[in-house]
Amino acid sequence: MTEKPRILVTRRWPDAVERVLAERFDASFNTSDVAMDAKTLAEALQSFDAVLPTVSDRLPASLFEEGDLRTRILGNFGVGYNHIDIAAAEHYGITVTNTPGVLTDCTADIAMALLLSVARRTGEGEREVRAGQWTGWRPTHMIGTKVTGKTLGIIGFGRIGKAMAKRCHFGFDMDVVFYNRSKIDPVEAARYGARQLETVEDVLAAADFVSLHCPGGGENRHLINAQRLAVMKPGAYLINTARGDVVDEAALIHALETGIIRGAGLDVFEAEPNVPERLRALENVVLLPHLGSATEETRTAMGMKVVDNITAFFEGREPPDRVA
């Protein structure tokens, strides 16, 4: 690199990573940490060599059409990139990278936390204690659902789906079935104590807990809709740590209100950070503010992956995590 590339970091990142970026690049940081609007992002594409967005930035095709583009790489901070119009980026010759691998365990941990939390009603229990409304132990108080030995259904058997299977099968003696678009070698699946079923419906019908681990956007939008929720057991729970748009949120709210399913644990929502009032009013849901990868170790590792990707790109090497 002769002259340092101009880069824009759209949100605050862990200090250690921002320090490396500042040393290596002509870096601009978003010190206010307020999500950037479309106009600011469009201008950024015209004035920076690299833009480093997150899931809170929207980069639809229209943003790329606004003027002369200077940006040559979008180094996304996150494994999911359905907030970026990949076809448009490719059309304008912009490379896109993501951060796979380093958030697998922490995201599976949050899925496990949601599963346990909603089944054992820990959110409700905590609210009761904090409100000073607990009247003492009694045999019929806040009865939940046993987790150990139940059946887990996974939709999307990638890294995070496998990590979830491992936790549930080896930690909680659960029978694990999954749906995955491509065929997984049964020997590989067995390493995670899991077996593949033919259709999404087969998994939904078999599972006591359904955990979503597929990408968002495209044909996965509203993969879980009213028809599919109706296939789930009435006593079953839905866990979503993937992307909000994988679930038809209105249909889910109806299913939760009317007992079509028993409960849900959600880390992601259709229109983040807006969570519908009707969902927030329900006791049979556990709601988290998109915390899947939110640990010091993982967020730093994600940032360092972006550093590696854009460094490779500007040195003329293939970025390790290119998606477009």
Look up residue 293 and give its amino acid: S
Q: What DSSP state is assigned to residue 285?
A: E
Rounded Cα distance between 47 and 315, Å, is 20
Task: Kindly state the smallest distance separating residue 148's Cβ from ligand DGY, in Å.
Answer: 28
Binding-site member from 21, 36, 42, 55 for ligand DGY (CB under 6 A): 55
Question: Any contact of residue 5 with ligand DGY (CB under 6 A)?
Answer: no
CB count in 10 Å sphere of residue 14:
16
Q: Candidates 35-43, 72-80, 149-157, 167-175: pick the segment binding ligand DGY (CB under 6 A).
A: 72-80
What is the enclosing helix (H) or strand (E) of 119? helix 104-119
Q: Which of 272, 278, 297, 317 is catalytic?
A: 272
Task: Report the residue number, 80 or 303, with the smaller CB distance to ligand DGY.
Answer: 80
User: How many residues of this chain interact with ligand DGY, rule: CB under 6 A?
Assistant: 8
What is the enclosing helix (H) or strand (E) of 302? helix 296-314
Binding-site member from 17, 27, 36, 79 for ligand DGY (CB under 6 A): 79
Task: Kindly state the smallest distance separating residue 237's Cβ from ligand DGY, in Å.
Answer: 21
35: phi then psi, degrees, rounded to nearest 5: -55, 140
The answer to whether residue 272 is catalytic is: yes
Binding-site member from 71, 97, 211, 293 for ligand DGY (CB under 6 A): 293
Question: Any contact of residue 96 with ligand DGY (CB under 6 A)?
Answer: no
Q: Where are the beta strands (DSSP E) in the chain?
A: 6-9, 26-29, 50-52, 73-75, 95-97, 151-155, 175-179, 194-196, 209-212, 237-240, 263-266, 285-287
Question: Any contact of residue 220 with ligand DGY (CB under 6 A)?
Answer: no
Task: Report the residue number, 97 or 196, with the smaller CB distance to ligand DGY.
Answer: 97
Question: Any contact of residue 211 with ligand DGY (CB under 6 A)?
Answer: no
- Residue 3 near residue 290 (C-beta atoms within 8 A): no
Q: Which residues are catalytically annotated?
A: 243, 272, 290
Site residues, ligand DGY (CB under 6 A): 54-55, 78-80, 103, 292-293
